[in-house]
Amino acid sequence: MKKQKVLFFLPQMAGGGAEKVTINIMKLLDKKYFEVYLVTLSDKGPAMANVPKDIHIHILDVKKTLFSFFKLRKKITEINPDIVFSSLFRGNIALVVALTWSKLKPYIILRSPNSPKLLIANNELSRIMKYLIEFTYTKCDQIIAQTPEMREEIINFHGINPDKIKVLLNPIDQQDIDNKTVNSVSPYDSENINVIAAGRLHHQKGFDILIESFAHVITKNPNFKLFIIGEDVSGERISLEQKVKDLNLENHITFLGYQSNPYPYFKFADVYVLSSRWEGLPNTVLESLYLNTPVISTKCIPFLSKLIHDGDNGYLVEVEDIHGLSNVILKTKEIKRIFSSTVDSKKELNEIFTN
C-alpha cells in the first residue's frame, strides 16, 4: 500500500500549544500509512527539538508568514502531498492562499486554535481576520475543532457547514510524558505547598490575575509557593515581575522561563493552576490530569467542566475572579485526587487523516 504524504505547515517553532499539538499529531500518525513532512519558516525555536527524527523537515527561510506564499507554494509543488495541515490562523491563511492558484489539489485540513466566541468577546479578532478565517474555512476540506462547543461556535460565528467540522480533543504524547518523568525527582521543597502554572507570558493566560490572587493566598498561608513556566513572547514578563515586587511576593513566586521538560514540575506539584481568560483546549490541563495532578482552572471554556470536578480532582472558578481563585487555591490540600482515565485520541486522529 502506497503511503500518503502529509505536509504540516507550522510558520514558527515556538513553544506554544498549537506547535505542541501539531508535533504530537505528527508523532502519533501511523507511519505505516503516512509519510510526514514539516514545512516551517525557520528552524529557530524550542519546539524544533521535539520534532521526531523520522519527519522530513523543510525550512523556507522567510521571516514572516505574510511573505511565505510563493516559497510555500513551490515547496508544496515539490513535495506533492496528498494532505496538507495547518493549526494557526496565519498559517491557515498562508496555506490556503498558496494553494489557491496551484495546480495541485491536496486534501486541506485546518485546525482551529482558539474559541471564536471568546476571541471576539476579548477583541482579539478583527473584521479582516474574521473574514480571512472564513475564507480559509470555505476553501478547506475539513476543519478540526478542539471540543464539541468549539465546533458549535465555528458553525454559529463563521457560518460553516457542520458536515465539514470534526472534533478532535488535543492528543497528548503519553509516551513522551512517561519518558520525561520516569525516575524524576521533585524540583520542589516538600515543606511548601507548591503551585505550578504554565503558558506563554501573555494577557490571555491571566498570570496577572493569578499573581494578585496569590497575594491573598499568602496572607492566609505563607507556605504556598507559585512557579510559572513560560516563554516571554510579548514582553509581558517585566510587568508581571513588577507586579510581584509591588505585592511583596518575591519570596513566593518564581518565573522559570521556558522548560524543555516541564513534566516533573507538573507531576510533583500539589496543584496545577490555569488562570486563562480564554483558551482552545489547554494542553497543560490534559497533561496535568494525565499525571494525576489536581487542576484549578478558570471557566475559560465550557469543556473543562467535563474534565474537572470540584473537590474531586480540582476546582473551577469564574474568569478574572481574583478572590474566587485564591479561595480554591487555599483548598489545595482538601482535593480528593479522584481521577478518570485520559482520552486517547490516536485512533480518531488516524481516521481523520485517512480521508
Q: What are the boundaries of each domain within the chain?
A: 4-172+344-353, 176-334
C-alpha distances out from residue 262 to 253, 257, 267, Å: 17, 10, 9
Q: Provide the pLDDT for residue 217.
A: 98
- Give the angle subtended at the CA of 281 by the CAs of 280 and 284, to the nearest 5°: 125
One fold for 4-172+344-353 and 176-334 = yes
Q: Are 174 and 168 in contact (CB under 8 A)?
A: no
Question: Smallest Cα–Cα separation from 184: which of 242, 265, 107, 109?
Answer: 265
* Ranges under pLDDT 50 in the chain: none
CATH number of 176-334: 3.40.50.2000
Closest CA to 242 of 219, 212, 217: 212
Alpha-carbon span 161 to 341, nearest angstrom:
32
For residue 88, what are the CA distances in angstroms to 1, 12, 156?
Answer: 32, 10, 20
**Does the predicted TM-score (pTM) go above 0.75?**
yes
Look at residue 345 in the predicted model and tell me its pLDDT. 67
Q: Is the CB of residue 58 less than 8 Å from the CB of residue 39?
A: yes
189 CB contacts (<8 Å, ≥6 apart)? 225
Per-residue pLDDT, 248: 97
pLDDT in tens, 141-185: 999 999 999 999 999 999 999 999 999 999 999 999 999 999 999
* C-alpha to C-alpha distance for 171 and 283, rounded to whole angstroms: 8
Helix axis angle, 89-100 to 127-139, nearest 10°: 50
How far is Cα 232 from Cα 152, in angstroms, rounded to an integer?
A: 32
- State how far the Cα of 129 lies from the Cα of 120, in Å rounded to an integer: 11
Q: What are phi and psi of 157, to 5 degrees?
A: -90, -25
- Looking at residue 341, what is its pLDDT? 60
User: 183-223, pLDDT tens digit by residue?
Assistant: 999 999 999 999 999 999 999 999 999 999 999 999 999 99
Q: Are the beta carbons of 267 and 184 closer than 8 angstroms?
A: yes
Q: What is the CATH number of domain 4-172+344-353?
A: 3.40.50.2000
